[in-house]
Amino acid sequence: MKLFRYFPVAVDSIAANKMRASLTMLGIIIGVAAVLTILGVGRGASANILDEVASQGTTRLTISPSTESEGEGAGAPVQTLTMGDVRALSDAAFHPDVVEVVPQYGGSIQLVAGSNNKQTRVTGTTADYVGVHRLEMAEGRFLTEDEIAQMSNVIVIGTAVATDLFERTQVVGESVRIDGEPFTVVGVLKESGNAGFGSNDDSGFIPIGAAHGRIFNVPRYRGEYIVTSVSANAVSEERVEAAERQIEQTLRLRHGLGADDDSDFTISTQASLLDTIGTVTNTLTLLLSSIAAISLVVGGIGIMNIMLVSVTERTKEIGLRKALGAHTSDVLLQFLIESLVLTLLGGLIGIAISYGLALLVQRIPNFPIDLLIGVDALVLAVGVSAGCGLIFGLYPAMRATRLDPIEALRYE
Amino acid sequence: MADSSALVDMQNISKVYQMGETKVHALNGVSLSIEAGEYVAIVGTSGSGKSTLMNIIGLLDSPTEGVFAVRGQRASGLTGRQMADLRNREIGFVFQQFNLLARTPAWRQVELPLFYANVARSASRKRALEALAQVGLDERADHKPDELSGGQQQRVAIARALVNRPSLLLADEPTGALDTRTGEEVMALFEKLHEEGLTLVIITHDQEIAERAHRVITMRDGVIVSDSDAATTTASGFRNGLSGAAPAPLPRPVAIEQDKEEMYEAV
């Protein structure tokens, strides 16, 4: 194939002007490296979050009271999600696809141990919390059914709390004071090792009754304590939607909502959470990539600029080549392939740089995200840089073909 | 009637350039034929039309009027692509300024016409080295232009002109950029190649160079004012006067070129 014969010619010409060629490629190098790195960061971050979410189970549903209220007149919104709802939802006869309904009432409060104290989020909950939220214990155990029923003064704490209060994590049997009341530590949660999303390192868990009745001054609605959220598990991943419908039906009925009323609660599933996260990260990645893509276009214009200079500078060479029998197509291909080689080379160096960054990031311990560079991103980078070469090389190449050999040979 | 045995055959060639409102007759009804194996010098001052004549012989330019053929192949009416192929096959160029590619080894320079003739790379390297040997530069095949003297650079250019075995070597002021001694060496090389059978056309304004040729054609104001080998010119038809005072043929519209060619056929 004759086409391939132009590549050595292009390489020779680039090698003959190394400095100029590398400066020209810089735009493409930076552009490709930027696009790939940003795509990699976006993908790494979203993979990170998705892993985190998946590790917490894909069957979980979370019911939260709606924060908005309308038509109820002025004043604070009335919180209508209560322990009564939790009991109703626990009835398996009406909710065959719902298991482990777990109420939560949480607030930020000070824990005291000896002379140490720490402001921590303390959640009142039930024994099933550990299963629904897939917590793992480092020391001791989670709250038991008995302790929940008796509203015992027991607490399970995260590792950060343990180390802050006791400077160690083997603290089962120790006592912490909340609002003057002593609570016995029965378990310490395993460190999640991640300061970000879904970490329980900095929290404490006590029986829901103790939280409602003694620690927090919890208001009631229609005679029942309110809760800040309710978690539940669906029997299987396939039944998440059915479970969601069953819960919705019960709560709307209990809250006396008519067919036209909006629900005063929201049910979020892990699937909907994944969707939301996916949308957000995709939007962010797209935004950043388009900014990076601008640098690619700027790089491409740099290529065009240099190729135009190169055509002018090599007017005599073009004249000579034509005198020696070069066709118009020969000249066109020569310059087109030269700019193609230039951009492809720049693209490859850009890819190498972003891969280097990815490897570097992997070696940094505890770096929150990995750079994930997919094959599709590589194909995109190579394609875009080759496209840049062809598009931005076309005009200079056509200028070269239009040169009259007689004039070109006379050009000084 | 076109002389089919002639290497170059020009019949009543005119070249008119449009410069704004005025027409400039660079060539005005030139007829000329060059046989294979000739050693011709075309002389004339600048503006005499010798460069235009060279461009037409070299297939770089097309005449406005007249019939031109190389080795019996009519050049008028060819596409740019066909002209390029014919040029590649039949004509070897040597320029005053050598016109070598910067930072490129000698053998790669010489290879260039073969690249455009689609000769395979292995064969073209061999032929390039042979051509360099012909000009006595086989030892310096890997040298780049800035590592060669002016005379050596011109010899590389001559090797490049020879490599595709052209019918005709066209040299435009080949010694113009060289000192007398190197110029003499280059001329000696040309004459050696001529003795080996090469047809040589040298365009020059240097009388000393011109006098070495076996045939001298003198141009002035777009016409041939003298041709030492008058027989050839007469045989091919037109014979312009001995002075520039000869009546110039009327310029003809390009459109009737076709008819005129048929007329020649009929004669």
CATH number, position B124: 3.40.50.300
User: Does A324 sit within 8 Å of B93, measured CB to CB?
Assistant: yes
Reading the block at residue A283, the tokens are 């939007």
Compare all CA atoms of chain B with the CA of A404 and give the residue at the minimum distance.
B60
Of A9, A325, A328, the CB nearest to B85: A325
Q: How far apart are CA A404 and CA A406, in angstroms?
A: 6
Q: How far apart are CA A29 and CA A216, in angstroms?
A: 59
Of B87, B103, B108, the CB nearest to A323: B87
Query: What would the mean pLDDT of A96-102 be, rounded to a whole number?
Result: 92
The segment with the largest mean pLDDT, out of A194-198, A270-274, B109-113, is B109-113
Question: In the prediction, which pLDDT does B12 show?
Answer: 92
User: Does B103 sit within 8 Å of A16, measured CB to CB?
Assistant: yes
* Residue B98 counted as domain residue: yes
* Residue B65 counted as domain residue: no
Instruction: Give the amino acid at B217.
Output: I
* Residue B187 counted as domain residue: yes
Residue B266 pLDDT > 90:
no
User: Does B60 sit within 8 Å of A406, measured CB to CB?
Assistant: yes
A310 contacts on B by Cβ (under 8 Å):
none
* Residue B175 counted as domain residue: yes
* Residue B30 counted as domain residue: no
Q: How confident is the model at residue B246 (pLDDT cuts 50, 70, 90)?
A: very low
* Residue B48 counted as domain residue: yes
Question: In the prediction, which pLDDT does A101 show?
Answer: 93
Task: Check CB contact of B63 with chain A, cutoff 8 Å.
Answer: no
Q: How confident is the model at residue B231 (pLDDT cuts 50, 70, 90)?
A: very low
* Residue B171 counted as domain residue: yes
B95 contacts on A by Cβ (under 8 Å):
320, 409
Interior angle at CA B143, CA B141 and CA B146, nearest 5: 145
Of B95, B112, B117, the CB nearest to A409: B95
- Exposure of A226 in the CB half-sphere (CA atoms within 13 A): 18
Residue A39 pLDDT > 50:
yes
Q: How far apart are CA B70 and CA B11, in angstroms?
A: 12
Question: In the prediction, which pLDDT does A4 show?
Answer: 82
Question: In the prediction, which pLDDT does A376 show?
Answer: 82
Task: Name the A residues in 323-342 with CB < 8 Å from any B CB.
Answer: 323-328, 330
Residue A128 pLDDT > 80:
yes
Q: Tens of pLDDT along A143-165?
A: 999 999 999 999 999 998 999 99
Q: Would you state the torsion angle of the CA atoms of residues B108, B109, B114, B115, taken in this order, to the nearest 10 degrees? A: 70
Task: Check CB contact of B99 with chain A, cutoff 8 Å.
Answer: yes
Give the residue numbers spanning the domain of B85: 37-59+78-266
Total number of domains in chain B: 1
Name the pTM for this structure: 0.69
As a residue count, chain A comes to 412
Of A2, A319, A320, the CB nearest to B118: A2
Mean pLDDT of chain B: 83
User: Does A316 sit within 8 Å of B60, measured CB to CB?
Assistant: no
Residue A397 pLDDT > 50:
yes
B102 contacts on A by Cβ (under 8 Å):
16
Whether the complex's predicted ipTM is more than 0.85 is answered with: no
Task: Name the A residues in 352-411 with CB < 8 Å from any B CB.
Answer: 405-406, 409
Of B61, B102, B121, the CB nearest to A16: B102
Tell me the sheet residues that pair with B31: none
DSSP character at residue B177: T
B167 contacts on A by Cβ (under 8 Å):
none
* Residue B249 counted as domain residue: yes
Residue A80 pLDDT > 90:
no
